[in-house]
Structure 1
Amino acid sequence: MNAALRIRLLMELRRSGVTDTRVLSAIEKVPRGAFVSEPFLDQAWDNAALPIGCGQTISQPLVVALMSQALELTPRMKVLEIGTGSGYQAAVLAALARRVYTLERHRALLAEAEARFRALRITNIVAMLGDGIKGWSAQAPFDRILLTAAAPELPPALLAQLGEGGILVAPVDTGPDRQDVVRVRRTAGGFSTETLFPVRFVPLLPGVPDPVA
């Protein structure tokens, strides 16, 4: 791990609005190189998204940090992540919350992510192959829900699985060629939504693709 590159990234995140010290600590401690494909290891601490297979990416560290910060996590919380991908975002969440449940629709990505969790001895992540649009009703309600893929609208099943007082953070399509991260809070009277910042994510797709090519 290159300490100078790690410090450079943390300074860039601070300048870009990441002020939550617990989030910055999690970004510092989680070895992003463990989640990056070998051809891109030299870019592991760059503030850039990188390809990981199955047409997916490991998100830009700034986006991971800002979305994690938007969740307003405390150490006792139970979190649902939709879109495991490389497992990097889940690992960051695991450093901030009590337990992380994460769903991935690509079997190959799920297997790789689970292997990384084992190698890093991260024991508070539960991963499963599944349709993220349907969520994980057996483990609901959740204190926090995070989507790492963009949808035209927030899936009703996920809103239903958010506990009262909970927060859901997700990228949504807000116009032609535009996506924004929104934060939804569930109250006793319903839901309130605020728009946070623009992003670019892969689309949230239904179902689980056939694992056989």
Structure 2
Amino acid sequence: MAEKEGFAALVLRLRSNGVSNLDVLTAVEQTPRSQFVPPQFSADAYSSRTIPIDCGSFMEGADLAVRLLDGLHIKPGHRVLEVGTGSGFTAAVMGRLAERVITIDRYKTLVAQAQARMEALSLRNVIVRQADGASGLSGEGTFDRILVTAAFSAVPRFYADQLVAGGSIIAPLIIEGDQCMMVRLTKTGSRFEREDLFAAPYLPLVPHIAAYL
């Protein structure tokens, strides 16, 4: 019951922010968010507050997570790369929208937890892998969409080789000091068209996989 009420309240908040994509909202509804938050934060699963998880990482508030998913414009048949698995919630939702999702994280602990959640939800098209996401993921071909959940200090142009023509990436960009802007970069020829979406709180990208966690 709390799950349904939390989701209903989230939908009302999202609609007031102009998010009403039925495919995205249905995928979110089919992915119980309470299964992705630490038990002590279950009451906040559908709130807009940031929730701490293992390894010093955090989950975006539910509103922000869904706004990012909405902004990606994922279509059936798409291949998606996510850099920064975290709890696995956004990857799980994307798995219901796309043909295939590869999500990577530097922390073995988070990868193992996310993998268990995908198996519990029978999401076999979501691949969870421990990898250094500082330069994306080479050797896996190109992707239609890339979602990055750690902030860059400059537009990550190296991702252009990992996107199909017309593909897009959403990533947080540090614009000054600790201010962070979510931007959508769409590949047009050999360049990116940049669109600023909204300000958001994000941790800077840390290279290399974690040695101990």
Q: TM-score normalized by structure 1?
A: 0.95
| Equivalent position of 1:186 in the other structure | 187
Q: Which runs of 5+ in 1 are unaligned?
A: none
CA contact (8 A) 1:133 1:157 kept: no
The amino acid of 2:101's aligned partner reads V
Distance in 2 between the 1:207 and 1:112 partners?
20
| Equivalent position of 1:21 in the other structure | 22
Give a deviation string over 1:145-179, Cα, whole Å, max 9, x none.
Answer: 00011111233432321111101001110112210
| Equivalent position of 1:72 in the other structure | 73
| Equivalent position of 2:167 in the other structure | 166
- Cα distance, 1:189 vs. partner? 4.6
Distance in 2 between the 1:57 and 1:130 partners?
18
Distance in 2 between the 1:211 and 1:26 partners?
34
| Equivalent position of 1:196 in the other structure | 197
**Is residue 2:121 matched to residue 1:120?**
yes
Distance in 2 between the 1:79 and 1:197 partners?
22
CA contact (8 A) 1:150 1:201 kept: yes
Q: TM-score normalized by structure 2?
A: 0.95
Identity across aligned pairs (percent)?
36
Distance in 2 between the 1:155 and 1:132 partners?
12
- Cα distance, 1:19 vs. partner? 2.4
| Equivalent position of 2:84 in the other structure | 83
**Is residue 2:13 matched to residue 1:12?**
yes
| Equivalent position of 2:59 in the other structure | 58
RMSD across aligned C-alpha pairs, in angstroms?
A: 1.3
Aligned length: 212
CA contact (8 A) 2:160 2:191 kept: no
- Cα distance, 1:5 vs. partner? 2.2
The amino acid of 1:42's aligned partner reads A
CA contact (8 A) 1:133 1:158 kept: no
Give a deviation string over 1:152-211, Cα, whole Å, max 9, x none.
Answer: 123343232111110100111011221000001111252211111000011111001212
| Equivalent position of 2:149 in the other structure | 148
- Cα distance, 1:70 vs. partner? 1.3
